[in-house]
Structure 1
C-alpha cells in the first residue's frame, strides 16, 4: 500500500461551504462537520492527497453543524494561498479532531495573539463564558476577529490590545505590556496562551516571573 493510500485512509472528504475574507488577508473557511470535537481541538486540512495536511484549530462551537477555520494568508505557504482562492463546493480533505488544549468551567484567563484567538472562539461559542477573561493582541483595529460576538457577552472581561493603532475601547500597546501593568494576577485560575512561539514564550515567562505557577499555564503555539 503506498503512502498516498495510507494518507487517504486517514482523511475524510468534505466540501467547502463558505470561504470569506473577514479582515485583510484573514479568512474564515466553513465546511460541514464530519466528526464531533472538543472546544480547543484542531484538524488537519489539505486540498491534495499527496500533500501532508496542515493543522488548524477549530473556531466554531461544538454544537454548530459547520466547522469554522480561521486562517491568515501566508504568501510563502503551500496551503493558504490555495485556500484563499477556492470557492464553495471545492473538495477538502480533513483529519479527525485532536488536541488537549481544553478548558472547563473553572476560572481562566485566555490570552491570544492574531489568529490564536481561534480556540477561544470555539470555547466561547461552546458556552464557556463565565469566569473567563479574554485578552487578544493584534496590530491593527481590524485584527480583533469575532469581536462583535465577544463584546456584548464578555464586556469588561474582553481586552483588545492594539500595538499599532488607537481606537475606542482599545488598549494602546502590546498584550505583554498590559499584563505587566496589571496590578495583580489571580492565583486561583489557569492561564491559556495561544499564538506565535515568541508570544507564548514571552507571556509564559512573564507570568512565571509574576508568581503564576507553571502548572497553571496551558500553551498552544501557532506557526
Structure 2
C-alpha cells in the first residue's frame, strides 16, 4: 500500500503532552477502529495511530501523545497548516461487531487508547456502551465531552476524585473491574498498554467471559 500526501489543517493541544493532529481527508476511506501509518517526508521514522475522527467527517484526526526524545511525535506537534505528511493505510481489524446478539459493549482504554472508541462513538449513534478511560489525572481525559452523558467513566490513578469531577472512579481500570465485575454477556474491547490488556483479559476470563468476546488493540 502506497503512502499518500495529506496536508495539515491544524494542531490542537489537549494537554501538556497530548494533541490532536487534523489532516485533509483526501481520498482515504477507513472503518471505525482502524489505524494509519504516519511519516514526515524525508524522515525515516514512521508511527501508527488509530483514527480519532469518524468516517463521515470531512477531515482525518489523530490523537497523539508526545514522547520525550521521540523521533516523530515532537516534530508532528510543530507542524503548521499546509505542511504535507505521508499517510499510509488504513490497517487493522479492531472493528465493532455491531450485529452481535449480546447488544452491549464495554470499552476499556488507557491514555490515548481512547482514540478508536471516540471514532466508534461518533460513527454509531445510539450505540449501547460504557467506556472506562484510565488516566493518571483528569487533565488527561481527552475528548470526554464528545461521549454521551453517562457513557464514560474516568478512572484516575494518581488524583483524588472530588465533587468537581462528577462521576469518576479513584483507581485504575483494573481496580474498577475487580470491584464491579461486568456482565459476562457483553462484548469487551480493550485498547492501551499490553500490561493492562493482559491483566483485564485474565480478570474477564476468570469471570467466565469467553475469549471470543474479548477484542484488543495494543498500544506500545
Q: TM-score, normalised by structure 1?
A: 0.90
Structure 2 residue 56 is the aligned partner of structure 1 residue 63: yes
Within 5 A, what are the aligned runs for 1:200-219? 200-219=197-216
Hey, what's the Cα distance between the residues in 2 that align with 1:143 and 1:212? Answer: 30
Aligned counterpart in structure 2 of residue 88 of structure 1, from 81, 94, 112? 81
What is the root-mean-square deviation in Å for CA atoms of aligned residues?
Answer: 1.4
**Does 1:161 find its partner at 2:155?**
yes
Q: 2:143 aligns with which of 143, 146, 164?
A: 146
Structure-1 residue corresponding to 2:169: 171
Structure 1 residue 49: Cα displacement: 4.3
Answer whether contact 1:49 1:93 (CA < 8 A) is retained: no
Report the alpha carbon displacement of residue 199 of structure 1 after superposing the two structures with TM: 1.0
Task: Give, in whole Å, the separation in 2 of the partners of 1:21 and 1:185.
Answer: 34
Deviations 1:56-75 (A, max 9, x none): 00000110011110010001
For residues 131-142 of structure 1, the aligned pairs below 5 Å read 131-142=128-139
The answer to whether the Cα contact below 8 Å between 1:14 and 1:31 also exists between their aligned partners in 2 is yes
Quick check: 2:36–2:87 contact (8 Å CA) kept in 1?
yes
Once the two structures are superposed, what CA deviation does each residue of 1:29-54 show, in whole Å capped at 9, x if it has no partner?
A: 00011311100000000003451521
The corresponding residue for 2:92 is: 99
**2:25 pairs with one of 6, 25, 33:** 33
| Bigger share in helix | 1
Question: Runs of 5+ in structure 2 lacking a partner?
Answer: none
**Distance in 1 between residues matched to 2:3 and 2:198, nearest whole Å:** 33
> 1:59 is paired with a residue of what secondary structure?
coil
Distance in 1 of aligned mates of 2:56 and 2:210: 33
Is residue 15 from structure 1 mapped to residue 7 from structure 2 by the alignment? yes
Structure 2 CA distance for aligned equivalents of residues 94 and 147 of structure 1: 27
Give the 3-state SS of the residue equivalent to 1:191 in structure 2: strand
Q: Count matched residues.
A: 211
What is the match of residue 196 of structure 1?
193
Unaligned stretches of 5+ residues in structure 1: 1-8
Match of 2:16 among 15, 20, 24: 24
The runs of at least 4 consecutive aligned structure 1 residues that moved more than 6 Å come to: none
